[in-house]
Each structure stands twice: as structure tokens, then as C-alpha cells.
């Protein structure tokens, strides 16, 4: 057997493997510049919207169903949380019978009704859009901490959108399992996690194998091998033969060297 040829062949495979890893490095996005936070004076204070008009337009019998949610999200300046708070206060002064109705209605408006309007922005992974959106969402968390009267409203809006962002992060990682290593992805995921909205990005099959090897879950790997597809079994077999051959050749090479 010509060991030199086999060694050269193995070296070639190793070089291809290293080349693939280097190619993956070039593809990775290591940009760490996040979109700047908006200062208070930068948030729009445009105030041409009058919620009283919407209340008079809608049927007062059951405002939860008759409220024109779409008109609200189209016309109101919901970027500015202070203005939303003002709208709740106006609604409360009109709807005196149930103090929670106003909060419930605007919670619905700024969650389920707002979603169709903005969801296209998140159709594909765009970390800057996610990070900027997270800033707006987080403002509700801070308001919830300091404005006890409207805490249910702020918390509900905050919770809804962080859940949405966490779901999106999982969804993006299904399309490309490598994005979870990018700084901006991890930044937004970290924001979710620090508030107990766990992000569970998809692990690729190779990552699962590596994780199980690191954790020495040999019995589990052995069991999974038997239920794997034919291609996976062939890949395992090839990997096993390759590793075995590499060890044997190395041992023979060392023995021959000592004999000489």
C-alpha cells in the first residue's frame, strides 16, 4: 500500500474541509454597529389625530368590537407613547363604566391590528429593523414600571411584540442556521432573553451531533443512528471509516519510522 498517496489524499480532504470553514468565515456578518437610539426630541410629536372623533363615529354599544382599529393605527401617532397614553385618558373619560375597556381596546389596536401594517418589514431577516423596533417595544416596558395605572396596557403591548420578535428570530434561524452567531442577532435575542422571552434558534443537524459529542451522549447518538435516513447512515459510515483509516495509517507510519 502506498501510504504517501493515502496521506496526500487525506491531506487534500483536510484542506478542502479547512477551505470550507474559511469560506464560511468570509460569509459571516460581524458588523457590530447598531442603529442609534432615538432621543426623546427625535420621536415624532405630530399631533393631528383626534380620538374623540373615532369614538363618536363608532357604535357605543360594544366599543371593543366596533372601535375602528385600522383607522387608529393608520392615523394615530403610536410611535410616541405619551400620545397613546393621552388617547387612553381621553377614552377613559368617555367610557366611565369600565376603566379597563380603554386599555383593552388600545392594546388590541397596537398588537393584532398593528401587525398587518408592519409585518412586511420583518418578512426577511433585517437586523437593523429588528433592533430599531425593539427600542420602541422596550419603551412600553419602562412605562409599565413607572405608570401603575396603565401597567396592564403597557405590559400587554410589550409582551406581544417581544414574543413576535422572538418568534421571528426562530423563524429566521430555520432559513439560515448560521445567523444565530451574528452579533446583531445575538443582541436582539439577548434583549428578549433578559426579559424571559426565550429564543430557541434551530440547531442544524451537524450542530446537534457536535453538541451530543461534546456532552458525551454516546448512547443517544448510537440510538439516533439507527433511526437516521440512509444518506445519514452512509455519511456516518464514511466518517467512521475515514477516522479509522487515519488512525491506522498514523500508527503504521509511526511504527515504520521507529523500525527504521
Cα distance between residue 186 and residue 184, in whole Å: 5
Secondary structure (3-state) at 46: coil
Q: Which residue, among 84, 86, 90, 85, has the nearest Cα to 63 in the 3D structure?
A: 90
CA distance 245 to 13: 13
Q: Rounded to the nearest 5 degrees, what angle is found at the Cα of 254, between the Cα atoms of 253 and 255?
A: 90
Please report whether residue 208 would count as binding other proteins according to CB under 8 A.
yes
Burial annotation 52-65 (CB, 10 A radius, 16+ → b, else e): eebbeebeeeebee
Exactly one of 16, 123, 124, 214 binds other proteins (CB under 8 A); that residue is 214
Torsion of CA 27, 33, 35, 37, to 10 degrees: 150
Which member of 200, 243, 250, 256 binds other proteins (CB under 8 A)?
200
CB 60 within 8 A of CB 96: no
179 binds other proteins (CB under 8 A): no
220 touches other proteins by CB under 8 A: yes
Residue from 51, 81, 88, 108 touching other proteins (CB under 8 A): that is 108
Q: How far is the CB of 138 from other proteins (least distance, A)?
A: 14
Q: Which range, of 33-41, 74-82, 86-94, 207-215, touches other proteins by CB under 8 A? A: 207-215
What minimum distance in Å lies between the beta carbon of 200 and other proteins? 4
The residue within the footprint of other proteins, chosen from 4, 5, 174, 196 (CB under 8 A), is 196
Nearer residue to other proteins within complex by CB, 58 or 111 = 111
The three three-digit cell numbers of residue 50, written as one number? 383626534
Residues in contact with other proteins by the rule CB under 8 A: 103-104, 107-108, 111-112, 152-153, 155-157, 159-160, 162-163, 166-167, 192, 195-201, 203, 207-209, 211-212, 214-215, 217, 219-220, 223, 227
Amino acid at each position: 500500500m502506498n501510504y504517501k498517496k493515502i496521506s496526500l489524499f487525506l491531506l487534500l480532504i483536510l484542506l478542502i474541509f479547512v477551505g470550507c470553514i474559511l469560506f464560511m468565515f468570509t460569509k459571516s456578518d460581524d458588523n457590530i454597529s447598531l442603529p442609534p437610539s432615538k432621543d426623546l426630541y427625535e420621536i415624532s410629536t405630530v399631533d393631528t389625530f383626534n380620538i374623540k372623533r373615532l369614538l363618536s363615529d363608532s357604535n357605543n354599544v360594544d366599543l371593543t368590537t366596533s372601535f375602528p382599529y385600522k383607522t387608529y393605527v393608520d392615523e394615530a401617532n403610536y410611535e410616541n407613547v405619551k400620545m397613546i397614553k393621552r388617547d387612553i385618558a381621553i377614552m377613559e373619560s368617555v367610557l366611565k363604566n369600565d376603566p379597563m375597556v380603554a386599555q383593552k381596546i388600545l392594546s388590541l389596536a397596537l398588537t393584532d391590528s398593528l401587525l398587518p401594517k408592519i409585518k412586511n418589514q420583518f418578512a426577511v431577516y433585517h437586523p437593523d429593523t429588528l433592533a430599531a423596533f425593539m427600542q420602541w417595544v422596550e419603551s412600553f416596558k419602562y412605562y409599565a414600571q413607572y405608570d401603575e395605572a396603565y401597567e396592564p396596557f403597557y405590559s400587554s403591548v410589550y409582551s406581544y411584540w417581544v414574543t413576535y420578535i422572538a418568534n421571528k428570530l426562530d423563524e429566521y434561524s430555520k432559513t439560515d442556521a448560521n445567523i444565530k452567531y451574528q452579533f446583531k442577532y445575538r443582541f436582539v435575542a439577548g434583549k428578549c432573553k433578559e426579559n424571559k422571552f426565550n429564543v430557541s434558534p434551530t440547531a442544524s443537524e451537524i450542530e446537534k451531533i457536535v453538541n451530543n459529542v461534546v456532552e458525551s451522549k454516546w448512547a443517544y447518538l448510537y440510538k439516533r443512528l439507527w433511526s437516521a435516513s440512509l444518506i445519514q447512515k452512509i455519511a456516518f459510515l464514511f466518517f467512521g471509516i475515514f477516522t479509522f483509516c487515519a488512525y491506522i495509517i498514523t500508527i503504521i507510519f509511526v511504527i515504520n519510522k521507529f523500525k527504521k
